[in-house]
Structure 1
Amino acid sequence: MRPSFHPEGLYAESKSSAESKPNKISQMWHLNGKCPEDTIPVRRTKREDLLRASSTKRFGKKKHRTIPQPQSTEPELFNVNGHQHAIAYVEGDKYYGAKATINVWEPKIQQPNEFSLSQLWILGGSFGQDLNSIEAGWQVSPDLYGDNHTRLFTYWTSDAYQATGCYNLLCSGFIQINNEIAMGASIFPISGYGGSQYDISILVWKDPREGNWWMQFGNDYVLGYWPSFLFSYLADSASMIEWGGEVVNSEADGEHTSTQMGSGHFPDEGFGKASYFRNIQIVDGSNKLRAPNGVSTFTEQSNCYDVQNGNNGDWGNYFYFGGPGKNPNCP
């Protein structure tokens, strides 16, 4: 089980500057061994995991409508169920994949039912009940995992989070083929404020022959695929790509949450202090990785979480994003 084709230009990324040279990153469970050939690692679901969920039916699922809708000008349409975002996005074309390199942090979470994540979204359809979405990145989610560790994750839905889809391998859908990387497993080391930076690269692309959506982690690990039959719109192509951060703001006592996004610092602090996405790319109809055209940014409340994009020779299209949540300007 391997993809028929990889996108062209996959390893053309520049590594000439010190900031572009990634530090080695791994997963905690590797300290205890590895899985044999012809098996895959699956994170064990325990009784406590199910008890933390609002219901067994909703275990491993996102709440409805957690996708930002940048084309809308009405802020109240975004903060559905208290979800807030700081993203870069492209729309208006047919997309067949996306790639990004994301530095890894361990943001602090205020309430157990809140989360903080950094991910890419592959989107098809409208933002109504038929939205198709493939998502991958890192997250901190005490409600899902029972701790505050930063974990690699995937998600998918074909009906705007209503009945289909789930995180990782908690339902059928994503088919894993790799025995070295575990979905939902913690990542280490993580970036330090003013210290060493650690990042991960994620690529999701549509196999032009078979039509399945594949995921690759770093340069070495093809993790698995989402079969095309799971989707309606994404059976053909995506109509929007988003990269960035998302948090849940439960707004306890009417005050904004102090749950952090990214590093917990605003993007203007820059490298080594703020969270970033670099070398963001899309896969076009010729199965080529290329820089996206017309990248826009969006955030609901820039005084709580913000995003700033740019472009240079080493990082291509990039952006810094994130924030502390509650602060004197975000009460």
Structure 2
Amino acid sequence: MVTQCRMDLVGDVLQSTKTRNKRCCFDHRRRQHQCTQTNTNLAEETTRGKSSNMASSSCKIPPIIPIFVCFLLLVCSVRHVHSSSSADHRQANQTLYPGEESEKLNFIRDGLKKINKPAVKTIQSPEGDLIDCVVSHQQPAFDHPRLKGQKPLDPPERPKGHNPTGTVSENFQLWSISGESCPEGTIPIRRTTEEDVWRASSVRRFGRKVRRHVRRDTSSNGHEHAVGYVTGDQYYGAKASINVWAPRVANQYEFSLSQMWVISGSFGDDLNTIEAGWQVSPELYGDNYPRFFTYWTTDAYQATGCYNLLCSGFVQTNSRIAIGAAISPTSSYSGGQFDISLLIWKDPKHGNWWLEFGPGVLVGYWPSFLFTHLQNHASMVQFGGEVVNSRPSGFHTSTQMGSGHFAGEGFGKASYFRNLQVVDWDNSLIPLSNLRVLADHPNCYDIQGGINRVWGNYFYYGGPGRNVRCP
């Protein structure tokens, strides 16, 4: 049996006798999980927590803010349109002129040679993934002209106020259940298959978000959000603990994700973003497992950036975490609650943006030269959930966000973000002073925020999608 980290929350007060129970325990006979299970007295949290500056998606904020955020979210969204399987693609391709299908197949295989690097060792994951152990300086990032011939950088200075302690397990993914690991000097990379590429809405843009025209006056592009955000300052990073679930995604044309966005630019063609969190994306991965992912772009998703390690960009330094691999365990309704802690921050010395998982486990970094505006700082940070609503059969999708339950159900039932922080100009982690929350379709997915001494800034969010109030 896996034992989990425990934290006790009673209203806004952390009892000193329960502080001793805030520890991580590990079962070495099976596997170690980077997780947090939180127990709370829901009745006391409800009565006391609501007095701590609770906010909701219906809070009164200046009209320009929702317009501003909705426009950003439109730019950040993805339109997923694809076929159900590689077999469907091949069947459709039978109508192509002679040679066209073979040309497409050759294009795919040439692309796979660039993505899938020679493996020192390969590990079979229970859900079907193949994890290749690749020499660290041969990973896709070092195909970039600015990185050719180089090796990953040494760890940077951590933000002040971030004091990781204790032993931490990186084994929070299904592929590590067997106890297999990659040798020193290599990194684990989820192998990309021909089937992965055939599923994509655009073979030539595989691993990237789809470009499209963005209008400022509408949010009816099929993407729906429930987010907390801060703006109006200079940000050099962000941190949050993100509750992990396995939401139901209604069809292969849709996805559900929970992530952080670190953002800069004019919100036009020069938009810069760095993104990390978990997602369920049948198109990208071929299944419904929640997976740890990253993304970046420097031109509003037009020609730069990609998911995970599917292009030259993000430099991975960790030998135990596979970006794009399935997360285990996940939370359950009225049961165990698990979250992953992510920190993104700008190295004051070299200017690169680093990603850390849990207390002290460095995953890797985005080189500063990838960006324009983010070479300096971010102008907005967002946290929250996003789904695609393709309106199957003319109705709102039943794709779930978070746990699939509304924010009002609270701990153990609704999904949450907690301990939200940002990094300031002095490389210090500080609490949020002006967190706002917004749901653009609150009858389908909503959000409620608050603050207390244990969770700091937090919010509950999510929903079931289609229901009596969301037809």
- For normalisation by structure 1, the TM-score amounts to 0.92
Q: Which residue of 2 aligns with 1:5?
A: 157
Q: Is the 8 A contact 2:225 2:385 kept in 1?
A: yes
The residue type equivalent to 1:208 in the other structure is P
- What is aligned with 1:231? 371
Q: 1:65 to 1:322 in 2, by over 3 A?
A: farther
Structure 1 residue ranges (4+ consecutive) displaced by more than 2 angstroms after TM superposition: 1-4, 22-25, 63-67
Q: Pick from 331, 340, 358: which aligns with 1:218? A: 358
Gaps of 5+ in 1: 14-21
Provide the residue aligned with 1:47 in structure 2.
Answer: 194
Secondary structure, aligned partner of 1:50? helix
Q: Per the alignment, do residues 50 and 329 of structure 1 end up closer, same or farther by CA in structure 2, a change over 3 Å counting?
A: same
Query: 1:126 Cα shift?
Result: 1.8
Alpha-carbon separation, structure 1, partners of 2:186 and 2:322: 11
Aligned-residue Cα RMSD (Å) equals 2.0
Task: Work out which structure has the larger RCO, using CA pairs closer than 8 Å and 6 or more positions apart in sequence.
Answer: 1
Contact 1:87 1:298 (8 Å CA) reproduced: yes
TM-score, L = length of structure 2: 0.65
8 A Cα contact 2:278 2:290, kept in partner: yes
Give the C-alpha shift of residue 23 in structure 1: 11
Once residues 323 and 188 of structure 1 are traced to their aligned partners in structure 2, the CA distance between those partners, rounded to angstroms, is 22
Give the SS at the match of 1:318.
Answer: strand
Q: Does 1:255 align with 2:395?
A: yes
Give secondary structure in 2 for the equivalent of 1:319: strand
1:253 is displaced (CA, Å) by 2.8
Question: Where do 1:1-331 residues align within 5 Å?
Answer: 1-11=153-163, 26-32=172-178, 33-64=180-211, 74=217, 76=218, 78-80=219-221, 82-331=222-471
Deviations 1:263-299 (A, max 9, x none): 0000000000000000000000010001112111111
Structure 2: distance between partners of 1:183 and 1:153: 6
Q: Name the CA distance, whole Å, in 1 between partners of 2:350 and 2:160.
A: 17
1:96 partner amino acid: Y
Q: 1:169 to 1:208 in 2, by over 3 A?
A: same
The answer for unaligned runs of 5 or more in structure 2 is: 1-152
Q: Which moved more, 1:53-62 or 1:229-238?
A: 53-62
More helix by share: 2
Instruction: Report the Cα distance in structure 2 between the residues aligned to 1:264 and 1:25, rounded to whole angstroms.
Output: 26
Deviations 1:26-77 (A, max 9, x none): 100102310011100010000100110122222111234799x9xx7x5x2x
Could you tell me how far apart the structure 1 residues matched to 2:207 and 2:431 are? 33
Q: CA deviation at 1:318?
A: 0.2
Q: Which structure shows the bigger proportion of residues in strand conformation?
A: 1
8 Å CA contact 1:66–1:83 kept in 2: the answer is: no
How many residue pairs match? The answer is 316
User: 2: CA distance between counterparts of 1:134 and 1:29?
Assistant: 26
Gap change, CA 1:64 and 1:307, over 3 Å in 2? farther
